[in-house]
Amino acid sequence: MSTIGFWIKNSRSVSLPQSALPCLTAIVLCIGQDGFTWWLALPVLLGVCAVHLGMNLADDYFDYKHDSRTRADISSTSIRARMEKCHYLGQGEGKATISQLGWATTGFLAFAALMGAIAFAAQWLLHGWQAAMGIVIYAAAGLFLGINYAGKPLELGYHGLGELVIGLMFGPLLMLGVQAALTGNPFSWQMLCMSIAIGCMVTNIVYVHSVMEVNADAELDKMTFARLLKSKRLMIIFIGLFAIIPFIILGLGIALSWWSPWYLLTLATLPMSIFLIHSTRLFAYGLPRNDTPHWWMGPMGEWEKYKQAGIDWFLYRWLLARNICTFFCLILMMVHICLKFIM
């Protein structure tokens, strides 16, 4: 099995918003900057999406090599344990071999490299090789962390650092890399700070998962950042830090006159962030809770199906964390576009 559709489906494309949203936000924030090359936005976005899917497949490859056990019989209460890792690998119709997985991973990464080469060549011609080297540095750092997320020698995901690596990759490295690719400017304090803010929100999407599954992950012998912290109190403190730091950064940037006060419209997501902290605390401590979606939480999918499947307790907080990041980025982009073209 080697069709593109097969590999896109099994490369967990549902996770693409975690990279596409920061990428789109960085693209929009580059509008109005000196040297902004608008036509590079599409190859940059396609390259980011391709490398994300490629890294997901690489993660599957290394996980399969690391431990190919079927997890469904380990725990009946875990979201992770309900899934057989790399379920699409094996013999027979509709299955792929580990060799085909390796080639598919290479294909996604090669396409991403091609998109990066287009941006590299454009920046070299427009601003010189020094400007183009910024793209190489960020791409190399991202590739290094992506491979070592599950691969040797570091295997960061197996040592409780996976969530932080994802935040770093989809926050600062991605957004500063996009700025380098579109403008030839490899660094600005404004983009760094905004990328840290968005990186914290992306981190919370995967970290909330780990907090809810801390006991099941212990049964699976999977080390996560939540397990690394051990204390429930510390787990909730970090949920709060990842949720609130973006708004602190936003306030500081406005105070420094980096950004317009109109950026405060992103505070519309603050109540959602506070509720995420509260709701996750109730779950972690086993306190009474009412996991009923409200309109202000944003899209929550096919909720009745989730309830019937017994995964509503998980998706309630995971989707909320995802929606917080989504709304924050969308509001930020709309405000910036309005400021540049309307006001």
Note the pLDDT tens digit of each residue in 144-159. Answer: 998 898 788 888 988 9
Task: Using pLDDT thresholds of 50, 70 and 90, give the confidence band for residue 41.
Answer: very high
Domain range for 313 is: 4-341
* Cα–Cα distance measured from residue 161 to residue 224, given in angstroms and rounded to the nearest whole number: 7
* pLDDT for res 93: 74
Average pLDDT value over all residues in the chain: 90
Q: How confident is the model at residue 12 (pLDDT cuts 50, 70, 90)?
A: confident
Residue 39: pLDDT over 50: yes
CA triple 183-186-192, angle to 5 deg: 105
Please tell me the distance from the alpha carbon of residue 312 to that of residue 291, in angstroms, as a whole number. 8
- Higher pLDDT residue, 247 or 223? 247
Environment class of 187 (CB within 10 Å of its CB; exposed 0-12, middle 13-18, buried 19+): exposed
**DSSP class per residue in 107-158:** HHHHHHHHHHHHHHHHHHHHH-HHHHHHHHHHHHHHHHHHHHHHSTTT-GGG
Lowest mean pLDDT among 48-52, 70-74, 163-167: 70-74
Among 96-105, 162-171, 187-196, 284-293, the minimum mean pLDDT is found in 96-105
Indicate if the pLDDT at residue 71 is higher than 50: no
Kind and range of the H or E element at 162? helix 162-168
Is 8's pLDDT higher than 70? Answer: yes
The pLDDT value given to residue 342: 86
Residue 50 confidence (pLDDT) above 70:
yes
Query: How many angstroms separate the CA atoms of 190 and 144, rounded?
Result: 25
* Per-residue model confidence (pLDDT) at position 257: 96
What integer is the mean pLDDT of 204-209? 95
pLDDT of residue 247 exceeding 90, the answer is yes
The residue type found at 138 is: Y
pLDDT of residue 78: 57
Lowest mean pLDDT among 90-99, 242-251, 293-302, 323-332: 90-99
Whole-prediction pTM value? 0.93
How many domains does the chain contain in total? Answer: 1
| Residue 130 or residue 40, greater confidence | 40
- Indicate the pLDDT class of residue 66, thresholds 50, 70 and 90: low
Cα–Cα distance for residue pair 129/140, rounded to 1 Å: 16
Mean pLDDT of the region 323-329: 97
pLDDT(272) > 90: yes
Res. 98 pLDDT band, cuts 50 70 90: confident
